Amino acid sequence: MTEPIIGIIAGAGPFAGLDLATKILEQTDASCDQEYLPMVSVSTPGEIENRTRYLLGESEENPAFVLAKNFLDLQRMNAKVIGMPCNTAHAAPILEVFHQEIAPLAKSARYLDMIQETVNFIGSECPTVKNIGILSTLGTWKAGFYPELLELEGYSTLVLDESQQTRIHEEALFHKKTRDQGPGQSSHRNSRQIFFRGQ
């Protein structure tokens, strides 16, 4: 039986798309090349407006339209389940427009919501966890969807104040060593101290 194809909207940002593809490979139980799950990705970072800039009102160009186009491109490549490894793109002003754009045309592909899946995973795999600290981009922090969803499920959440969050954002996205390592790697030491010590 042919495995359904996994689609990745991979340009927001490019390292996030690469990181998701790598994680899928690492989590696949395969003994040879032929046993890995089929994947396709579309990465058009030059066409996708910065999500945080849009959410902060620094740009009027909603990245949702290009992200929706990427979804439909993946559907044409026969992807059956499609994910977008960008937390900030799940903010309501972006995600709602994204869904409006794909809804009339999403006939054979299903969109997998990364944020809801994260909340579901914590509940099923970490049942004793009740307090959750959130590190994110400034746009995700401003949108506030992680605390909202987690608190609806009964979790207590810890978020930074704006000045601390700005420092985390700059370290995670603009610190050369962290950027070269890609997502999933530790933030700079100063960023970790901000979060754990509140300094």
Residue 140: the pLDDT is 87
The residue ranking higher by pLDDT, 147 or 163, is 147
Question: What is the secondary structure of 61-99 as a DSSP string?
Answer: --THHHHHHHHHHHHHTTEEEEE---SGGGSHHHHHHHH
- Would you place residue 172 in the very low, low, confident or very high pLDDT band (cuts 50, 70, 90)? low
Identify the CATH number of the domain defined by range 5-113. Answer: 3.40.50.1860
**Chain mean pLDDT for the chain:** 87
Residue 3: the pLDDT is 77
The residue ranking higher by pLDDT, 177 or 73, is 73
Domain regions of the chain by residue span: 5-113, 115-197
| pLDDT above 50 (res 180) | no
Identify the CATH number of the domain defined by range 115-197. Answer: 3.40.50.1860
Cα–Cα distance measured from residue 43 to residue 10, given in angstroms and rounded to the nearest whole number = 5
User: How is the chain split among helix, strand and coil, in percent rounded to 5?
Assistant: 55, 10, 35
Residue 65: the pLDDT is 98
Residue 181: the pLDDT is 45
- Would you place residue 1 in the very low, low, confident or very high pLDDT band (cuts 50, 70, 90)? low
Q: Is the dihedral of CA 41, 113, 103, 141 positive or negative?
A: negative
Model confidence pLDDT, tens digit, residues 88-97? 999 999 999 9
Give the mean pLDDT of 131-151: 89
Count of other CB atoms within 10 angstroms of residue 198: 10
